[in-house]
Amino acid sequence: MRKLLFVLPFLCLFMSCDKKEMKLARAAYIVEEGIDDHSPIYIEYAEDGIHPLLNDNNKIGGTNFIFHIERELNAKEVLEIVSGIKNKKYDKANLHMDEKGVFYSYADTLNKHLSFFPFKSLDYSFERPASTDNLLYVNASNDVFFEGKATDRKQLVEVTQGKDSLQLGFSKELDFEQYLQLRILLEELKISKQFVNEDRIY
């Protein structure tokens, strides 16, 4: 099967299955470019124009799940929905183990097409960590702090050098795009493996 690769205009508008324009998160870095054997899951605005609405009518078990998410939706509300779907997909009580992946789609502004962020190994917690030790935190203003001290994104490689088992935390006020952009930045900087596979949103 040919790999999925959408070409997007610079405005990065994605058409969902009900023909509404969806504004995807944006990043100028490619994590993955093509996904075989997939089914789409949409998280859009509910009728109130504030909260997320799940549309998984086209979800097929045993396929790679691609989450297309409105970039300005609240990250905590979105990730609570995503976490529930992901946990169900990989529930050990399932009759058959699902080996397929889960991915976020985003608009690659550098090459102007759709790219994907895999998160099969990533879990979510919605509780505050016990301390700020080894914690990289993004606050409600999208500012970055490492162990409680303000840090420029350009300094992340330097401040985390030689450290592992780092925690990643996000303010519950952030939108989904801000969350995903930081996660993609860690991939771009080649430091994502220094972090534990659990993001905290609180």
Q: What is the DSSP string of 82-147?
A: HHHHHHHHT-TTSSS-----EEEEEEETTTTEEEEEE-TT-EEE-S--S--TTEEEE-TTS-EEET
Which residues fall within 8 angstroms of residue 123, CB to CB, at 6 or more apart?
Answer: 83, 197, 198, 199
Residue 20 has what pLDDT? 64
Measured between alpha carbons, how far is 195 from 71 in angstroms, rounded to an integer? 24
Measured between alpha carbons, how far is 170 from 147 in angstroms, rounded to an integer? 13
CB 165 within 8 A of CB 134: yes
From the number of C-beta atoms within 10 Å of its C-beta (0-12, 13-18, 19+), residue 85 rates as middle
Residue 2 has what pLDDT? 37
Distance linking the first and last C-alpha atoms of the chain:
40
Measured between alpha carbons, how far is 194 from 173 in angstroms, rounded to an integer? 25
Tell me the pLDDT of the chain (202 aa) as tens digits: 334 333 333 333 444 444 468 999 999 999 999 899 999 999 999 999 999 999 999 999 999 999 999 999 999 999 999 999 999 999 988 888 899 999 999 999 998 999 999 999 999 999 999 999 999 999 999 999 999 999 999 999 999 999 999 999 999 999 999 999 999 999 999 999 999 999 999 9
